A = this chain, B = another copy of it.
Amino acid sequence: MKRLTDTERDAALSSVPQWRYAPERGGLIHREFVFADFTQAFAFMTQVAFHAEKADHHPEWFNVYNKVSITLTTHDADGLSQRDIGLAHVIDTIANTWTRI
C-alpha cells in the first residue's frame, strides 16, 4: 500500500470533503461525529468495526458518550493511502444512516 502523492491526495480529499487533512505522521485525515446518545455512537462504531476488519484497515478512534473522533492513516505507507480514503467513504455512508446532532 503506497502513500498517495500530493496530487493524488488532493483529488482524493475532494471526494471526502467532511474529513480534515493534517500533515502529522506523514498525513492523516480526521472527522468527528456526534450522535443522539451512547448506544447510537457505539452502534455506529460496531458497524465501522466490521467493515474495518473485513478490509484489514483499522481506524484510530476515540469515544466519549455520544461523540466519536476518527483518525485514518496508513502506518505502513507513512501517511495517507487509498485505503484511508476508501474507509472514509464507508464511514461516511454508515454515519449517514444515523440521525446525528
Chain A interface residues toward B at CB < 8 A: 38-39, 42, 45-46, 49, 52-53, 58-65
B52 and A38 form a contact (CB under 8 A): yes
B residues in contact with A60, CB < 8 Å: 62-64
A88 → chain B closest CB, angstroms: 16
B residues in contact with A65, CB < 8 Å: 58
User: How far apart are the CA atoms of A60 and B39 in the complex, in Å?
Assistant: 14
Which of the listed residues A46, A53, A62 has the most CB atoms from chain B within 10 Å of its own CB?
Answer: A62
B residues in contact with A58, CB < 8 Å: 38, 64-65
User: How far apart are the CA atoms of A1 and B89 in the complex, in Å?
Assistant: 41
B residues in contact with A45, CB < 8 Å: 45
User: How far apart are the CA atoms of A63 and B64 in the complex, in Å?
Assistant: 12
B residues in contact with A64, CB < 8 Å: 58-61
A68 → chain B closest CB, angstroms: 11
Which of the listed residues A42, A59, A65 has the most CB atoms from chain B within 10 Å of its own CB?
Answer: A42
